Structure 1
Amino acid sequence: MTATGDVKNCRMAGPECNIDAAFSSYKDTRFFINLNGLRFICITMVLWHHAIPIDKGSFQLFGRGFMGVDFFFVLSGFLITTLLLREARERGRYSLRAFYIRRGLRILPVYFFVVTAVATYYIGIKGQVEYLQILPYYYIFFSNFLTEHIPTLTITWSLSIEQQYYLVWPALLLVLPLAARVPLLLLLIFINVVISAGWILIDPIAAGHLLFQLPNATYAPILLGSLLAILLDRKRSFVLFWWLLGSRWAALILAVALILALQLTPWNVLGWPNLLIHTTMTLMLAALVVRERTMLTPFLAARPVARVGEISYGIYLYHLIGLDIWMRILGPAGFDEGWMRLIGYSAISILLAEISFRTLEAWFRRYRPGGLPATTSIRMTEKQS
């Protein structure tokens, strides 16, 4: 295939494809077909984590479902940074105002709905007024630093991490010189890993109901996703990823490597195990975007799998509510065994998320700002991030 060949199909061909066509195809991609399926894997890990009791003495891999959130972070960092870089290339610079409006309309409606509904139940109906003291921290996305939580809202820590990232990174990227972006990200990742591993001791800062410390705010995976986006946006580094990961087998090999990393690393993942797992996640994501068709694509792009991935944000927010409903209604009847609980509460969570996606979230999606050129990745990010 030549540089003037079939650009659209180039990334389906593998390393033998002309690199100019491969890079052009990547930059023009508006929707990465593998990523909703990847989201399916992430949310399945999270659902498993909260359904099956963790036993350190059993097969360790099955106790690592919580790292599905870390994979979500890698994916989010990649997609958000890719959107910003592509909008800047099309328009000369990207609009912070439009970015925050898009993010707000995507994230806030269902998040505020869940927080308000849960708080109303526990504070207004059950009369547990002590939760009033910590409720404001959920609305300002500081729940990752809370020392106690309103029941079923513990998972909002990850949304706080993302919102803190959204607040800082797009503005920083706007003013950073091109040559400083990769070194800065590498430095921030290194600092995050070093502090969270305890290699450098920094006393936590207590402020009322908040405790500011790492690893309560682990930003390394979302920074790794951002780093990947920048590297793939540059032809020189894209070439390296293309030749290393452009094979149909690369994503599958890295998926196996990730499973091995989850199984074989020490139970306490802080430090180098965390970095190893997050780096493997980042490389697997790279293998799924530098090439459109991989050995995993038939599964990842299957309609039911992709649909669950598409509404995974809602599933994440509703799943502890779904678990609570399942345990209250069917738990006393004996339907609380691991697999039965996993299937039952997952079905409830998916149903709640589907209804929310088609009603509450759909209403707010109508107000997303448009006007971007057709060649940008806005559609990709609005559906996948």
Structure 2
Amino acid sequence: MSERATAISFEAYRATRNFAALDGLRAVSVFLVFSEHFGGIGWTRFSGWLGVHAFFVLSGFLITTLLLRERDATGRISLQAFYIRRATRLLPLYLLVFLAVLGLSWLAGDGSWAQMKAAAPYYLSLQNELAELAPLHMTWTLAVEWKYYLVWPALLVVFGTTPRSALAAVGFCIAALAMIGIGGHEWKLLLPQNYIGMLLGTGLAIALHSRRGFALLGGLMNHGVALALVLLLLLWQRRFPLVADRIGTASAIAVYSLLVTLLIPALVAPRTWLARGLASKWLVFVGHRSYAMYLVQYVAANAVIAALPGLVVGTPLLLLSFGLALLLSHGLHRGFEKPITAWGHRRAAAVKRSPAPALAGAGAALRAETGHSPLL
């Protein structure tokens, strides 16, 4: 199949409402995280924890793509509607799992109860990265994403009136993070490596949203590039400790995030072999439940160990924990997560139908004054 045959047109890309292959990438990423936590030494050498940085790239790409398309469709970005959608998508399930783990820790009567009590103020204020080790320590990633959600959409409304200005805002943020990294500051609330992936995904979304940027990146939408990037990602994960020793952990994570970013164009082109594979029904099924799976992973693992007391960290625990987490997440997805998310979308749609506030309309007003088009 030729490069032209595997690519997607700009019009088709802009009309696509669901990128199934990105859900498949979520499924792979959440399995990588499980492998790091429960697979043992045979799996940890693959640095599965890097899967969270793939999630960060996807978050930046998808959130920015949706915001840009909203502005094209309605002439503005409603920050209120955005925050309603994000809050109802992330917080109810997170709080439900938090309460469940808090209750289970109390019933266990072991050290986990003291850990959860000490960490609770941070967990409830979404400053999870400041908490000491506790049963929900992996939720530091949710706190990182929430800070991005609070800041970036507002920056896009104010500064992103054209693709150039939006990319400039992304570049400024990356430069600021780089300066923090060069300065050697150890700010737990603002570690550069935790935000670089979201900003790279954001930059890609802005570029692909413009006709000229889409044309420049079209060369990434083919089988050869997809294969090369997958091999590079596998090599980077396998050799990550050695690479990190040479160039530093933050720089090694930044390169990994860049490779994931460069892979996304091949995934939004549905004819590439990689996109077809990741868009399989099984992977999409897991991908849709990956957030819940990420939250309940330790609940599932502890349940497996309680049922099979002799089981230790290794492939059996990994597979059983992953399967049980998927089962639990499916129930949560259908009975709790999906209904609340649907309500949030309805509420956000009602907000968007209301008159535009001054800030949300600033971008459209500036375009009217300057004659700038949202496309390059």
> Is 2:263 aligned against 1:274?
no
What is the identity, as a one-letter code, of the residue corresponding to 1:195? I
Does the 8 Å CA contact 1:249/1:294 hold for their aligned counterparts?
no
After alignment, is 296-305 or 228-237 more displaced?
A: 296-305
Q: Secondary structure at the match of 1:296?
A: helix
Residue 315 of structure 1 is matched in structure 2 by 293
Residue 360 of structure 2 is matched in structure 1 by none
> Is 2:222 aligned against 1:247?
yes
Q: Secondary structure at the match of 1:260?
A: helix
Counterparts of 2:133 and 2:102, CA distance in 1: 11
Residue 258 of structure 1 is matched in structure 2 by 233
User: How far is 1:267 from its partner?
Assistant: 4.1
How many residue pairs were aligned? 341
TM-score relative to the length of structure 1: 0.81
> Is 2:345 aligned against 1:369?
yes
Q: 1:246 to 1:214 in 2, by over 3 A?
A: closer
> Is 2:4 aligned against 1:15?
yes
Counterparts of 1:319 and 1:104, CA distance in 2: 22
User: How far is 1:337 from its partner?
Assistant: 5.0
Selected match of 2:194 from 218, 237, 256? 218
Selected match of 1:158 from 141, 144, 147? 141
Residue 306 of structure 2 is matched in structure 1 by 328
Q: 1:366 to 1:263 in 2, by over 3 A?
A: closer
Counterparts of 1:337 and 1:172, CA distance in 2: 44
Residue 85 of structure 2 is matched in structure 1 by 102
Q: 1:120 to 1:282 in 2, by over 3 A?
A: same
> Is 2:334 aligned against 1:358?
yes
User: How far is 1:170 from its partner?
Assistant: 0.8
After alignment, is 88-97 or 130-139 more displaced?
A: 130-139
Counterparts of 1:292 and 1:285, CA distance in 2: 11
> Is 2:32 aligned against 1:45?
yes
Residue 115 of structure 1 is matched in structure 2 by 98
Counterparts of 1:27 and 1:342, CA distance in 2: 39
Does the 8 Å CA contact 1:252/1:295 hold for their aligned counterparts?
no
Q: Secondary structure at the match of 1:313?
A: helix
Residue 378 of structure 1 is matched in structure 2 by none
User: How far is 1:248 from its partner?
Assistant: 3.3
**1:231-288, Cα deviation, whole Å (9 max, x unpaired):** 101111110111x212233323211121122234424552432222111010011221
Does the 8 Å CA contact 1:249/1:295 hold for their aligned counterparts?
no
TM-score relative to the length of structure 2: 0.83
Where structure 1 has 5 or more consecutive residues not aligned to the other structure, the ranges are 1-11, 205-210, 374-385
- Indicate the structure with greater helix content: 2
Does the 8 Å CA contact 1:119/1:150 hold for their aligned counterparts?
no
Aligned residue runs from structure 1 range 286-325, under 5 A: 286-289=265-268, 291-325=269-303
Counterparts of 1:154 and 1:59, CA distance in 2: 20
Aligned residue runs from structure 1 range 27-106, under 5 A: 27-54=14-41, 62-106=45-89
Does the 8 Å CA contact 2:36/2:43 hold for their aligned counterparts?
no
Q: Secondary structure at the match of 2:104?
A: helix
What is the identity, as a one-letter code, of the residue corresponding to 2:233? L
What is the identity, as a one-letter code, of the residue corresponding to 1:173? L
Counterparts of 2:165 and 2:319, CA distance in 1: 47
What is the identity, as a one-letter code, of the residue corresponding to 1:132? K
* Aligned CA-pair RMSD: 2.5
What is the identity, as a one-letter code, of the residue corresponding to 1:248? H
Does the 8 Å CA contact 2:233/2:256 hold for their aligned counterparts?
yes
**1:29-76, Cα deviation, whole Å (9 max, x unpaired):** 11112111111111110111111234xxx788x341000000000001
> Is 2:133 aligned against 1:149?
yes
User: How far is 1:225 from its partner?
Assistant: 0.7
What is the identity, as a one-letter code, of the residue corresponding to 2:4? P
Where structure 2 has 5 or more consecutive residues not aligned to the other structure, the ranges are 353-376
User: How far is 1:352 from its partner?
Assistant: 0.7
